[in-house]
Structure 1
Amino acid sequence: MQLVTLSIQLEQYRNYLTYERNYSPQTINHYLRTLRRLDAFLTEINSHQSPPVKQIRSLHIRRFLADTSQRGAKPSTLLHYIKELSAFFNYLISQGRIEKSPTQHIRKPKLPDRAPEYLTVDEMTRLFAAVDLDEKWGLRDLCILQALYYCGLRNGELTALKRSDIHDDFSYLHVQSGKGGKDRLIPLHHHLQETLRAYVRRYDVSRPDQPLFPSRYHKQQRLHRETLNQLVKRYAALAGIEKDVLRTHTFRHTFATHLYQYGVNLNTISELLGHSGLDKVIVYTHAKADHLKEAMVRWEAATSDG
């Protein structure tokens, strides 16, 4: 009887995530990448053979996480690994491959309470102004930056957009199969509407199935996610914006924070972001604390004795 190894299970697990859980390709790749790293680690310590899933114990998972941590992984990364490994071993239990998950008693690392970093309205204005519209790809880059900010899109959601996802009158954006397989409609800010109209005219983005933001080198190829992060960092540098971590997801935090600052309720923000519940958006209430602090500073200045 052939032993069911970890490597053998990966393709079946991919099919399960794709067709039964309806996960996005990006999420599936994240899960499988973590599992391949575990397989590579266990293969190395198991006489260079992929281990049978029934023989994987909590000790192996702890050694893998310890090795990953020693290589510089942050606690947040380890937390993601534990979540993805737990989902995989729970799947194996449901399939009758194992009886107990080796992740069951793994302690999750404690993360520091930290509000997500975001940009101020002034910083966003400077960022947009840093784009040179006379450059060949300037208008495209401005359109990308505005779409990230005014729609709160995930990196993978923006790169997956097609021309047909923009309504004919440019009033709405249709995000198809976002995280968790949820579609949503996002009303478009009038600034983004104007930029999009100019963009699709200048670059002849007309075919319904064409990527809305194609690669510079091929009209039918989507932008790579890392290209977007590099684009964001380049314009941030031009605008003189310095942040510890600045990537496309920062725009998503900024979108939610600014909405909250201007009085939009958390349920609506959650819907616009494509979240399934309020637990993911409660972090944006830090914006109210910031405003209270600013108000106190102004009050102190006004009532000081000079």
Structure 2
Amino acid sequence: MRQESIVSKYRTYLLLEKALSGNSIEAYISDVNKLLNFIHNENLDLKDITLDNLQQFIAQLYDLEISPKSVARIISGTKSFFGFLLADGYVSSDPTELLETPKLGMKLPTVLSIEEIDDMKRIIDASTREGQRNRAIIEVLYSCGLRISELTTLKFSDLFLDEGFVRVEGKGSKQRLVPISPIAIKELNYYLMERETYPIKKGSENIVFLSKRGTPISRIMVFHFIKEYAAKVGIKKNISPHTFRHSFATHMLEGGANIRAIQQMLGHEKITTTEIYTHMDREFLRQEIIEHHPRNNRVE
């Protein structure tokens, strides 16, 4: 059977049997096409592929300086493809059974210090409408650990400022209550006074954070001004709105918060997602020992 026909059937399998999204299917097909191009260039036959052939394919990916994370994804796609081929009788054995996935080192997310966050806020001109809005956005992102999508869709009906809470609608439309700090409430209240002067567009009346045109502020706009403020105060880290969420979690853990409480506030379904911050906390503790333990400050 022609490879085009096999790929077409595999696409149907991913859609109907695996119920994958369109983007996921295209990613799988793209990875399979990389494998099929290799097979074609090496004058091999799909049904005769061996483990050695696959290891040669993976070696070529590394030669092209493809990252280990991308190689791991391609290997996963290759395993899925051969599982499909075996189940449908296109091959008699699965050569991917012993194919090893590269071990990925844990990449710890970038975190801002409290001083760096304060420096960014300090250079914002709060006398302008957009300036006060941006101060409030930074403080709410950091105070509540919100995702940028959660911040841009935050509604007035989600604010319980007298009680000190914000209701957040996270992934899968799941709602959670998150405490909001007095500093964030203060910045938010200053902004809300300015917000009354915005030319609010129909349909945006209940949205908290608006653009100067009166429409919901976009992720790109928040990303842009955060990068701009970071550059102005000399922060060299590669940061984004999500950096404030990481900073929130890390500072909470360093301050002694329970990891289960942090999990709830971040809206993580699995504790394993939150546990990355325990690695960051260990690095913090290590640095504290290096800086403050007398054995690290004495030279024999």
Scaled by the length of structure 2, the TM-score of the pair is 0.68
CA distance in 2, matches of 1:132, 1:144: 14
Query: How far off is 1:287 after superposition?
Result: 2.3
Give the aligned partner of residue 282 of structure 1. Answer: 275
Give the aligned partner of residue 116 of structure 1. Answer: 109
Give the aligned partner of residue 183 of structure 1. Answer: 175
The code of the aligned residue for 1:271 comes to Q
The code of the aligned residue for 2:209 comes to F
Query: How far off is 1:135 after superposition?
Result: 3.1
Give the aligned partner of residue 235 of structure 2. Answer: 241
Range with greater deviation from structure 2 (226-235 or 68-77): 68-77
Residues 168 and 142 of structure 1, relative CA distance in 2, 3 Å threshold: closer
Q: Would you say 1:219 and 2:250 are equivalent positions?
A: no
Query: How far off is 1:228 after superposition?
Result: 2.7
Q: 2:31, 2:74 within 8 Å by CA — same for their partners in 1?
A: no
Q: Which runs of 5+ in 2 are unaligned?
A: 41-46
Name the SS of the counterpart of 1:186 in structure 2. strand
CA distance in 1, matches of 2:257, 2:179: 14
Scaled by the length of structure 1, the TM-score of the pair is 0.67
Query: How far off is 1:146 after superposition?
Result: 1.2
Q: 2:146, 2:245 within 8 Å by CA — same for their partners in 1?
A: yes
Query: How far off is 1:231 after superposition?
Result: 2.1
Query: How far off is 1:74 after superposition?
Result: 3.6
Residues 44 and 213 of structure 1, relative CA distance in 2, 3 Å threshold: farther
Name the SS of the counterpart of 1:138 in structure 2. helix
TM-align CA RMSD: 4.6
Greater gyration radius? 2
2:186 to 180, 194, 212: 194
Q: 2:136, 2:188 within 8 Å by CA — same for their partners in 1?
A: yes
1:151 to 141, 144, 151: 144
The code of the aligned residue for 2:186 comes to E
Q: 1:150, 1:188 within 8 Å by CA — same for their partners in 2?
A: yes
Residues 103 and 128 of structure 1, relative CA distance in 2, 3 Å threshold: farther
CA distance in 1, matches of 2:168, 2:94: 36
Q: Would you say 1:174 and 2:170 are equivalent positions?
A: no
Count of aligned residue pairs for this structure pair: 279
CA distance in 2, matches of 1:63, 1:210: 57
Q: Would you say 1:262 and 2:255 are equivalent positions?
A: yes
Range with greater deviation from structure 2 (70-79 or 228-237): 70-79
Residues 31 and 45 of structure 1, relative CA distance in 2, 3 Å threshold: same
Name the SS of the counterpart of 1:184 in structure 2. strand
Q: Would you say 1:229 and 2:215 are equivalent positions?
A: no
Residues 233 and 262 of structure 1, relative CA distance in 2, 3 Å threshold: same
Q: 1:269, 1:281 within 8 Å by CA — same for their partners in 2?
A: yes
Give the aligned partner of residue 163 of structure 1. Answer: 156
The code of the aligned residue for 1:242 comes to K
Name the SS of the counterpart of 1:137 in structure 2. helix
Range with greater deviation from structure 2 (251-260 or 195-204): 195-204
Q: 2:147, 2:245 within 8 Å by CA — same for their partners in 1?
A: yes
The code of the aligned residue for 1:197 comes to N
Q: 1:152, 1:253 within 8 Å by CA — same for their partners in 2?
A: yes
CA distance in 1, matches of 2:155, 2:274: 27
Q: What are the equivalent positions in structure 2 for 1:128-147 lying under 5 Å apart?
A: 128-147=121-140
Give the aligned partner of residue 20 of structure 1. Answer: none
Give the aligned partner of residue 118 of structure 2. Answer: 125
Name the SS of the counterpart of 1:158 in structure 2. helix
Q: 1:170, 1:188 within 8 Å by CA — same for their partners in 2?
A: no
CA distance in 1, matches of 2:38, 2:79: 23
Query: How far off is 1:136 after superposition?
Result: 3.6
The code of the aligned residue for 1:34 comes to A
Q: 2:132, 2:191 within 8 Å by CA — same for their partners in 1?
A: yes
1:238-280 per-position Cα deviation (integer Å, ceiling 9, x unaligned): 222121x212222121111100111101111111111123222
1:100-125 per-position Cα deviation (integer Å, ceiling 9, x unaligned): 99987764332224433211121121
Q: Which runs of 5+ in 1 are unaligned?
A: 18-27, 48-54
